[in-house]
Amino acid sequence: MPSRDIRRVKQKKSEKVTDVEKKIQHHPLIYAFSLVILIIIVVTFIGSPVARYIGGTEKIVFGRYGNKPIEFLPGNYLSRQKDLIAEQLRQTDTSGNVKWQAYRVWRAAFEKTAILTGILLEAERSGLHITEEKVDRAIVQYGPYMEDGEFSERLYRETPNEERATTRQLFRENLIHEQYLNDMIYNLKYSPEETDFVKKMAGPERKFHFIQYTFKVFPADMVIEYGKEHSELFRQIKLSRITINTSKSDAEKILKQLADQQASFQDLAATQSQDAFAEKGGEMGWRRYYSLEEDFKSEEDLKRVFNMKKGEISTVIEMTFGWSIFKCDEEAVEPDFTNEETEQEVRRYMERFEAGMIEDYLLEKARDFRSKAEQIGFELAGEVGGLPVNETTFFPINYSNLFFLKQVRSATEGTSLGNAAYSEDFFIKLFSLKEKEVSEPVLLNDRIVVAQMLEERHPKEEELEQLELFYPQIINQFRQEDLIIYFLTSEKLEDNFDEVFSKLFNYNE
């Protein structure tokens, strides 16, 4: 950038300040967001000068968007996003699960890079153009050549040409990104009729009494009865496993080493197995028959494994995820249904695979309650049946619990309505009631609810005014979410992230 151009940009800086003030007054939150995008990258440059990364050449390609690779190179956009996200996560995630933290950081950086790549391609296709003068102005105002709050020609001249070119490209892409977001999200208009429609969504609001039968109240004796009728599902065996996901022949080579006693099962599992049990020498611990069914391609193979004697090693068995060799550490034992842990295991199985049986039982109970409530009153029916009568807060028809409307929730401490906000049947049945009328039973995932309409009201005027005030930010958030979904689900996106990450970081071991 020649000195005369720098002087020209500085002369226009005062004019720009006036434009900025007008823009802030007109769209304060929109402009603040667009500045944050720019400032984040500027801060990255200040904290990590470009010169540090130029020497690095190692490249990791996680996928493509259109004809552009989504790749990691020291100092590129994905690299900087990875560093920024990692720093944010360090301040908030104290779980200590390093592998999970690493996956979250790299995955988020990949998605941000995919979105940016998509935006740049869309902008190029549409002919969106950023002038060199605008790039100059951004670099002068926010670039990495600042000294005492002012642009320094000395720092600029002392910066190597390659680094200056990298900085310029970064700012050009960032300005395209900002302009695209303004065009697609922040500068779009909406009508007063649209605002009025959203305000109507806020009411009327209703409050209800409700009782619920959760899956947990399904009787223990019926659980045990089911377990005894299907006892083969709950047999246990203690196993170790070696898994090879490359080829059957590779697995057979491992089996031959075991047969020739070249190494122990534990050592080969630790060094050769390609699953999560490798770090434990292949040890899987005690496993129920049903918990392994989905892994085996052949039920006959599973039966043979459960018939193994202690110390016996299986042949190579084809699984849904590769080829495995099993070692029997303890022979299979029959389930003990007098044991509370076994009962809970059967209950969990039923909740997952036999939910219809539990639902039928609870629906019959709920219908009996409704009949009783219509005869003697809701609260008395609850008292007679030993059922706590709970109360909701006021809420409108808020399907999926949209954040800008009042949420569907219980006002009674320690209770919840499960997935009620995502049930169309819930809203149809409850908002069809007249005052004091009792609903038909509503199935909500892991519970059955019966409700009584207590009161209906309209939202306060100040609440509607607040909703109208914040509507621009609300609609912008939805537009952002739509844009993210558009890019991350596009047919142009080739997402190989999980496969590449797993290979590079041995994530599955």
Q: What is the mean pLDDT of residues 431-442?
A: 98
Res 100: pLDDT: 80
Is it the case that residue 49 has pLDDT exceeding 50?
A: no
Question: Given this model, what pLDDT does residue 18 score?
Answer: 42
pLDDT at 273 over 90: yes
CA 315 to chain centre: 39
HSE, CB side, 13 Å, CA atoms: give it for residue 158: 7
Q: Is the pLDDT of residue 41 over 50?
A: no
Cα atoms in the Cβ-side hemisphere of radius 13 Å centred on 298 = 10
DSSP assigned state of 261: T
* Residue among 389, 390, 355 at smallest CA distance from 372: 389
Please check whether residue 281 is in contact with residue 287, taking contact to mean a CB–CB distance below 8 angstroms: no
The string of pLDDT tens digits covering residues 222-258 is 999 999 999 999 999 999 999 999 999 999 999 999 9
Query: How many whole angstroms separate alpha carbon 468 and alpha carbon 324?
Result: 61
323 pairs with which residues across the strands?
A: 244, 318
In sequence order, what DSSP letters do the residues of 197-249 get, joined into one string? HHHHHT--EEEEEEEEEEGGGS-HHHHHHHHHHTGGGG-EEEEEEEEE-S-HH
Model confidence over 331-357: pLDDT tens digits? Answer: 999 999 999 999 999 999 999 999 999
What pLDDT is recorded for position 168?
92
Average pLDDT over all residues of the chain: 87
Contact residues for 380 (Cβ-Cβ < 8 A; gap 6+):
none
Question: In this structure, are residues 453 and 434 in contact, taking their beta carbons and an 8 Å threshold?
Answer: yes
pLDDT score at 95: 57
* Cβ pair 221, 73 in contact under 8 A: no
Is residue 405 within 8 A of residue 201, CB to CB? The reply is: yes
CA distances 357 to 213, 218, 475, Å, are: 14, 10, 43
Cα four-point dihedral sign 431, 433, 436, 439: negative
pTM for this one?
0.70
Domain ranges of the chain: 3-190+494-505, 205-217+355-458, 236-333
Q: For residue 101, what pLDDT band results from cuts at 50, 70 and 90?
A: confident
Output 412-419 pairs: Cβ under 8 A, ≥24 positions apart: 412/388, 415/212, 415/388, 415/390, 417/210, 417/212, 417/392, 417/444, 417/449, 418/444, 418/445, 418/446, 418/447, 418/449, 419/444, 419/445
Per residue, the 3-state secondary structure of 16-80, as one string, reads HHHHHHHHHHHCHHHHHHHHHHHHHHHHHHHHCCCHHHHCCCCCEEEEEECCEEEEECCCCHHHH
pLDDT of 30: 35
Give the pLDDT confidence of 362-372 residue by residue, as tens digits. 999 999 999 99
pLDDT band at 386 (very low <50, low <70, confident <90, very high): very high
Structure tokens at 476: 């912008």
Indicate whether 394 pLDDT > 80.
Answer: yes
Copy the structure tokens of residue 4. Answer: 């005369």
* Confidence class for position 58, pLDDT limits 50, 70, 90: low
Q: What percent of the chain has pLDDT over 90?
A: 76
Q: Is pLDDT of 88 > 90?
A: no
Question: Does residue 63 register a pLDDT over 70?
Answer: yes
pLDDT in tens, 400-411: 999 999 999 999
Query: Span 262-276, mean pLDDT?
Result: 94
Q: Hey, what amino acid is at 100?
A: W
CB contact at 8 A, 499 and 507: no
Which tokens in the block code for residue 163? 């680094």
Question: So what CATH class is 236-333?
Answer: alpha beta
Contact 358, 279 (CB under 8 A): no
Query: pLDDT tens digits, residue range 144-160?
Result: 999 988 999 999 999 99
Give the distance, in angstroms, between the CA of residue 491 and the centroid of all CA atoms in the same chain.
20
What per-residue string of b and e applies to 382-404 under the rule 16 or more CB within 10 Å gives b? beeeebebbebebbbbbeeeeeb
Q: Is 205-217+355-458 a CATH 3.10.50 domain?
A: yes
Alpha-carbon distance 355 to 229, whole Å?
17
In 3D space, the residue among 252, 403, 238, 258 whose CA is nearest the CA of residue 309 turns out to be 238
pLDDT at 4 over 60: no
Report whether the peptide linkage leading into residue 160 is cis, meaning its omega lies within 30 degrees of zero. no
pLDDT above 50 for 505: yes
Task: Indicate the pLDDT class of residue 504, thresholds 50, 70 and 90.
Answer: confident
How large is the average pLDDT for residues 463-481?
A: 92
Asked if residues 450 and 442 have their Cβ atoms less than 8 Å apart, the reply is yes
Query: Token digits for 416?
Result: 């919840």
Q: Do domains 205-217+355-458 and 236-333 have the same CATH topology?
A: yes
Q: Phi and psi (nearest 5°) for 53? A: -95, -15
